[in-house]
Every structure is written in structure tokens, then in C-alpha cells.
Amino acid sequence: MTPAVRTDAERRRAVVVRTSPSRRAHPEGEGGEGGGRAGGDAAGPDSGPPGQDSRTALASALSHLQRAGDKTLRALADEVRVSASYISRILSGERSPSWKITRRMVHACGGDPEAVRPLWDAAHGRRPARAGSLHAALRGLYLSAACPDATQICLSSGNALTEREVKGLLHGSLVPDWETVGAVVGVLHGRPDDIRPLWDHARLTQLSCLSYGLAPERRTPRAEAFG
């Protein structure tokens, strides 16, 4: 019997089946959740172009958490359920992970995902503007700077803020003037353009609350000493 002649489409499907790699025990991603190479990620429809500095800040924060959590690459990879080489590329900034994998990494290292989320948003071109975003973003920068103590931040800022005010800005609800916040962002090696929209939102919310008598006015630290 003469064998049936396969169509071009059937031949192409056969090639795909033969050349498709088998799934590894620790894949780099899960159904598109693994992220992509830095500079080539497919972000959502509300995303803009990611910035290299933002990706570096995310990688620095995750690296600090890995060191603080005393996790080896292999141990962290096993907990996150990806390959150790993929974890290494994330920590070096070569790969930009999905939020699912980022959250797993933070949890595995004993960190707070809410402090890392603004860094992940910025690395993927997202600019959230919701209540609490300013302080969450500043905590993310603080984490990416390896958590310097309040005294170091005060000295680097020219002592424009007291240690209590630094803690209020990073861990509380203090909303100083933009010159002060922008200078602190610089001390933490962040990008003021990323933080300014969050400050605008926080300041507007604060002023609205004051107008309706919902919150007492907080003292605004002077920014002159930042130069």
C-alpha cells in the first residue's frame, strides 16, 4: 500500500512534537509566570517601558533578603520551585521575575511582599497611585539599599531629618514636603521621577483629610539642609 502523503502543516506539527523540550523538575516559569529577560519583558496593557535602574533596585532588594535570610541559591530555588540558575539570574538583574515568583522569594526569605511590590511595579513599568503607595515605595528603596539605619540616613541627608522623622517617613504616615522626600529618595539611590506621582497622591490625600478635620497636621521637616 502506498503510504499517505503528509501535508506541509502535518510535517510542521511533527517537527514541533519531536523538538519540544521536556518539562524540568524546576522550570524557570509557570505558564508565562516566570518573567523574562531584563529589557524584554511582556508587561500588561497598563505598563510602560521598564527602567534599568528600577530593575537593579528590585534585584538589590531580593539579594539583600537572600543574604539576610541566610538562604543558599539551591535552598531558595527549592522553596520557590524554580531552578537555581534562574534565581541567580534574578538576583543579578538579568531576569525580571513575575510577581508570583517574586512573592515566593520574599516569603521564603522572611521578608514583607508589600515592601517589595512597589519595586516590582516600577521594574515592570507600573506606577501605582493608591493610599500607602508612597511609604511602601520608600520602604522598598530602603530595602534595596540594604536597610541602612536611621542615623546613616540622617547623616547622608545633612541632618535635615531627625531619626524619629526618618522612621515616620519609612514606617509610618509622615508626608514631608517634596524637597525632603526627593532628597531621601536620592540617599536611598532611588529615582525621584518614580516617586513623585506617589508623593502627589499622598499629599493630596493628606490635605483632603485635613480639610475635613480627619487627621491632625504633621510637622513638615525642613529640606534646606539637603542642598
DSSP the chain: -PPPPPPHHHHHHHHHHHHPPPPPSS-S-STTTT-EETT-----TT--PPPHHHHHHHHHHHHHHHHHTT--HHHHHHHHTS-HHHHHHHHHTSEE--HHHHHHHHHHTT--HHHHHHHHHHHTT----STTHHHHHHHHHHHHTT---HHHHHHHTTS-S-HHHHHHHHHS-----HHHHHHHHHHTT--HHHHHHHHHHHHHHHHHHHHTT-SPPPPPPP-GGG-
Closest of 13, 34, 35 to residue 24, by C-alpha: 34
Verdict on whether the full-model pTM lies above 0.95? no
Please determine, for residue 170, whether its predicted confidence score (pLDDT) is greater than 60: yes
Same domain flag for 152 and 217 = yes
The arithmetic mean of pLDDT across residues 30-34, rounded, is 42
Same domain flag for 87 and 155 = no
Please determine, for residue 25, whether its predicted confidence score (pLDDT) is greater than 70: no
| pLDDT level of residue 92 (50, 70, 90 thresholds) | very high
Q: Please state, as a whole number, how many other Cβ atoms lie within 10 Å of the Cβ of residue 147.
A: 14
Same domain flag for 181 and 227 = yes
* 42 is a domain residue: no
* 65 is a domain residue: yes
Number of domains in the chain: 2
* 135 is a domain residue: no
Q: Which domain holds residue 76?
A: 49-126
Say how far apart CA 171 and CA 165 lie, in whole Å: 10
The pLDDT score that the predictor gives to residue 37 is: 57
Please determine, for residue 137, whether its predicted confidence score (pLDDT) is greater than 60: yes
The pLDDT score that the predictor gives to residue 27 is: 53
The pLDDT score that the predictor gives to residue 210 is: 67
User: Residue 94 is part of a domain; what is its CATH number?
Assistant: 1.10.260.40
The pLDDT score that the predictor gives to residue 191 is: 83
